[in-house]
Amino acid sequence: MSNLFTLWRRELAAYFLSPIAYLVLLSFLVLNAVSFLLMVNFMDGRTTDASVMQSFFNTFFYWVAMLFVVPVITMKLFAEEKRMGTLETLMTAPVSDASVVQSKFLGAMTFFAIMWLPTVAYAWILNYFAKDATPIDWGPVCAAYGGTLLVGLLYISLGLMASSFTHNQIVAAIVGFVLIAVIFFLGFLSRIGPTWVQAFFGYLASVEHMSDFARGQIDLRRVLFYISATVFILFVTQKIVESRKWR
Amino acid sequence: MIEVQNLTKRYAGVTAVDGVSFTVNRGEICGFLGPNGAGKSTTMKILSGFMPATSGQATVAGHDVFTESEEVRTRIGYMPENNPLYPDMRVTEYLGYRAALKGVPRAKRKARIDEVLQLCGLSDVRRRIVGQLSKGYKQRVGLADSLVHDPDLLILDEPTIGLDPNQIRQVRQLIKDLGKRHTILISTHILPEVEMTCNRVIIINKGKIVASDTPENLTKMLEGGGTVRAEIRGERAAIERGLRGLPGVKDVQIEAGNDDFLRATIYAPPRSDVRVHVFEVAAANRWTLRELSRVRQTLEDVFAFITMKEAPVKEEEGK
């Protein structure tokens, strides 16, 4: 357990020791700020069926950020250690493969959460400056952040798995992006075809899930899906890391 | 300390380590010697628990490296080939992280890190970023890392590779000093290194152990070789004829020296001494004799003798 903490701290610190982290944070914030501004401008003086904060979690920008930023966060996790050879020093320390996988996942997850943190200010800004026009309903806002973290769990575990395949960060990013994109676009199959197809792919439909969460509707099935899928992918990743032992 | 029995490792079709057995006793500095690709690194990776062997058994301090891997890893300080480090951390940060990972209790961590910084001569660069250090310092950071949890056994894979001669000397001295407290298994393909630091040598070639003894005994194997060097002034043809005529001499090579003396290398069978005959023939012919000495065989000759001997045979097998 203390190992996990030590490893997690190193993973998190590694983000802030590299310039890529700041670049990611900056571009992410710029993207979201543009999204927020456009939305506020558009909704100013109009009657819409969704609030600003509700729409914020399901814009084009939101999904661009999720699909493109996550692979960039996760690409280095295993690939860099493999390339530098530090995986060998890491794995010959008295740590288990499982705790290495978990700490890398938790480190990326923490960075992901930190990335979203400044956007809480948008809700506060709205609440402060436009109290009369759009009062903030904090419940759905919290649910939306919870939903973002849940989707983040799944996407980051996919990115982590992609990183464990290779020692090339670019390859890790591309494979990660493809895996995430496949899951994302399969979700759209929930809108076409026979009922059972729709029902099945409904479980993958992140866009639908996020719009539910942003309305404040927390469906336990969704929560369980994201958590169990993540656990499964982390398990597979651990097996991939262990595969050096039986290859 | 280390016991290895019939260790074999096969990668996709290639046998990197082939039925290797050896033991390293507590307190020994054991040199693992072999040409590139002989299986040194693979054996070390197996011992350090990075990957398991295909078959065979290995124990460190009585613990099996496959089934009690974590137990073994707490007792080993392993420095892989090329000494991988996190370049973005400061020296003390890195050692602090590694110490925590290897289970050095929080209360003792700072004192222990100060100790290894001192020991490895890193005190001056403790606040520097690892990636910006010179290669010699990086190597010492790697050593400090392998030492930080005060392991019983150090496994160092080519610790002096890529260093300049001064740094090599420093690192060797450091290893020698460490040998007083730790058991060390060190791999290298640099022979003087083994002669200077180790009290036992295991020579491995093509995945098999071909010799295992003290450096002295190994050199003695060839030392009996009665090769003699002499510097003589006189007529070249006459000297060559005279030396070749001596009893027991198999071959003579003569080359011109810097002055009017000729340098002669006289080859004679092992455990013979032709020096007396050389002196007598020189005296009889009134040649001036300036130097007459036996050629001391180095480990290098032993190594070449042992590893080359097998090479051509293997090649023919391939055809």
Structure tokens at A117: 């943190």
Structure tokens at A174: 């591309």
pLDDT at residue B77 in the model: 92
Give the strands of the sheet with B288-294, arranged side by side.
B251-256, B262-267, B228-233, B288-294
Q: Could you write out the DSSP letters of every residue in chain A?
A: -HHHHHHHHHHHHHHHTSHHHHHHHHHHHHHHHHHHHHHHHHHTTS--SS-HHHHHTTSHHHHHHHHHHHHHHHTHHHHHHHHHTHHHHHHTSS--HHHHHHHHHHHHHHHHHHHHGGGHHHHHHHHHH-TTTS---HHHHHHHHHHHHHHHHHHHHHHHHHHHH-S-HHHHHHHHHHHHHHHHHHGGGGGSSSHHHHHHHHTT-HHHHHHHHHTT---HHHHHHHHHHHHHHHHHHHHHHHGGGT-
- Contact criterion met (CB below 8 Å) for B197 and B172: yes
pLDDT, tens digit (0-9, with 9 covering 90-100), for B279-303: 888 888 888 888 888 776 666 666 7
Residue in B81, B88, B98 nearest the CB of A17: B88
Is the CATH code 3.30.70.3100 the one for domain B225-294? yes
Residue in A9, A86, A96 nearest the CB of B85: A86
Find chain B residues with C-beta within 8 A of A242's C-beta. none
- Cβ of A89 within 8 Å of Cβ of B85? The answer is yes
- Cβ of A94 within 8 Å of Cβ of B101? The answer is yes
Those residues of chain B that have pLDDT short of 70 are 219-226, 270-271, 296-302, 305-319
CA distances from B122 to A236, B117, B307 (A): 41, 5, 38
Structure tokens at B140: 């010492």
Q: What is the mean pLDDT of each run of 10 residues along chain A (247 residues)?
A: 86 90 91 87 76 81 89 94 92 91 96 92 82 74 92 95 94 95 89 82 85 86 93 95 79
**What is the amino acid identity at position B17?**
V
Find chain A residues with C-beta within 8 A of B102's C-beta. 93-94
Is the CATH code 3.20.20.70 the one for domain B2-221? no
**What is the amino acid identity at position A142?**
C
Residues 6+ apart with CB under 8 A from B81: A85, B41, B157, B158, B161
Find chain A residues with C-beta within 8 A of B84's C-beta. 84-86, 88-89
pLDDT at residue B35 in the model: 79
pLDDT at residue B300 in the model: 67
B247-269: burial string, b at 16+ Cβ within 10 Å, e else:
eebeebebeeeeeebbbbebbbe
pLDDT at residue A163 in the model: 95
Give the strands of the sheet with B208-213, arranged side by side.
B76-79, B153-157, B183-188, B29-33, B200-205, B208-213
The tally of domains found in chain A comes to: 1
Find chain A residues with C-beta within 8 A of B52's C-beta. 245-246
- Contact criterion met (CB below 8 Å) for B300 and B201: no
| Strands, E assignment, chain B | 2-11, 14-24, 29-33, 55-60, 63-64, 76-79, 153-157, 183-188, 200-205, 208-213, 228-233, 251-256, 262-267, 288-294
- Every domain of chain B and the residues it spans: 2-221, 225-294
Query: Rounded distance, CA B113 to CA A154, Å?
Result: 39
pLDDT at residue B315 in the model: 37
Q: Is B139 on the interface with A (CB under 8 A)?
A: no
Q: Is B61 on the interface with A (CB under 8 A)?
A: no
Helix axes A138-165, A97-116, angle to 10 degrees: 140
Confidence (pTM): 0.83
Q: List the one residue out of B246, B247, B84 whose CA is nearest residue A89.
A: B84
- Contact criterion met (CB below 8 Å) for A127 and A137: no
pLDDT at residue A52 in the model: 77
pLDDT at residue B225 in the model: 60
Same fold, B2-221 and B225-294: no
pLDDT, tens digit (0-9, with 9 covering 90-100), for A142-167: 999 999 999 999 999 999 999 999 99
